[in-house]
Amino acid sequence: MSGDESIQKCCMNEFLKMIKHRLRVSKTLAVRLLFPRVCPLCGSILGARGTGSSYCRDNPFICSVCYASLVFPKEPRCLKCSRPLFDETKAYCPDCQSRKRYYDQGAALLIHDDAARKILYDLKYHNKRDHADMLAWEAAKVYHQVLKDWNPDVIIPVPLHKKRKLQRGYNQAHLLAVKLKENLEAYQLRIPVDPDYLVRIRKTSAQKELSRDQRWKNVRNAFAVSDREPGNKYAQKTVLLIDDIFTSGATLSECARILRMAGARRVYFLTFSIG
């Protein structure tokens, strides 16, 4: 291929990308005219940005009043799981001091109070998939520098069992991972999402119904690397796990254990609330 042909091909590819982008924007605008965004907490309709409507300047997917009600974790925080610390002289929370964790470090977006609980519950059980946009926008804004420092090679959502995914219709962790990836691109971070590498091989009881000790037993050996994927695909790589809620850390730690057994060099996590 000559130099001129190479330039023409490159220009055509860029032109096609631009056309696809404009089509996506037009489709999104058309959908929003028919089905306008509503605040995930109070349900008020969110008007176009810049019109003086209820859009929040800091996050266009929630109204300004409800945004002000969100509670973000404050320092000092556990160096392992990011849970707020009540004793400033400690580096780790009591849970991380008393039990081995297989991930290197993690971060959480919100404190799991009534507001965060409603947003995530509706996302998870009421098919409010739009809520993922608000959460991912905020997570990318708050943690893009942390993620640059961690430098993950891939984002892996915590998997659902195939029967539960069939019942629900989607995996909320996968949805959050994809939305996070899209928002991170605005900060020059391009990290692929791989939803197929890790699988849940055993249908477990709902973690919310169990005590902390029971949660660790519940997820033991519940995950594996898919037999459709090369087992060493992420050997010596850095993985970012994504889940919706951090409570005991049992699920994330078990996923991290499996990833380390498969050769992952480092495993970090990001959740959207912490209880």
Type of residue at 68: A
How much is the pLDDT for 229? Answer: 86
Residue 36: partners with Cβ closer than 8 Å, 6 or more residues away: 45, 46, 47
pLDDT in tens, the chain (275 residues): 565 666 666 667 666 656 654 555 455 444 455 567 899 999 988 874 444 446 678 898 999 999 999 999 999 999 999 999 998 899 999 999 999 999 999 999 999 999 999 999 999 999 999 999 999 999 999 999 999 999 999 999 999 999 889 889 999 999 999 999 999 999 999 999 999 999 999 888 777 677 777 888 889 999 999 998 888 999 999 999 999 999 999 999 999 999 999 999 999 999 999 98
Q: Indicate the pTM of the whole model.
A: 0.85
3-state secondary structure of 266: strand
> Does residue 262 contact residue 231 with C-beta atoms inside 8 Å?
yes
How much is the pLDDT for 51? Answer: 42
Task: Classify residue 169 by burial, with Cβ atoms within 10 Å: 0-12, 13-18, 19+.
Answer: exposed
- Identify which of 242, 164, 167, 156 has the alpha carbon closest to the alpha carbon of residue 204: 164
How much is the pLDDT for 242? Answer: 98
3-state secondary structure of 244: strand
What is the pairing mode between strands 223-225 and 198-200?
antiparallel
> Does residue 225 contact residue 262 with C-beta atoms inside 8 Å?
yes
The Cα–Cα gap between 235 and 196 comes to: 16
How much is the pLDDT for 6? Answer: 64
How much is the pLDDT for 228? Answer: 87
> Does residue 275 contact residue 113 with C-beta atoms inside 8 Å?
no
Residue written as token pair 């969100």 = 70
Task: Classify residue 271 by burial, with Cβ atoms within 10 Å: 0-12, 13-18, 19+.
Answer: buried
How much is the pLDDT for 53? Answer: 47
Strand order in the sheet with 238-246: 105-108, 266-274, 238-246, 154-157
How much is the pLDDT for 154? Answer: 98
How much is the pLDDT for 205? Answer: 75
Per-residue tokens: 111 = 């404190």
How much is the pLDDT for 52? Answer: 40
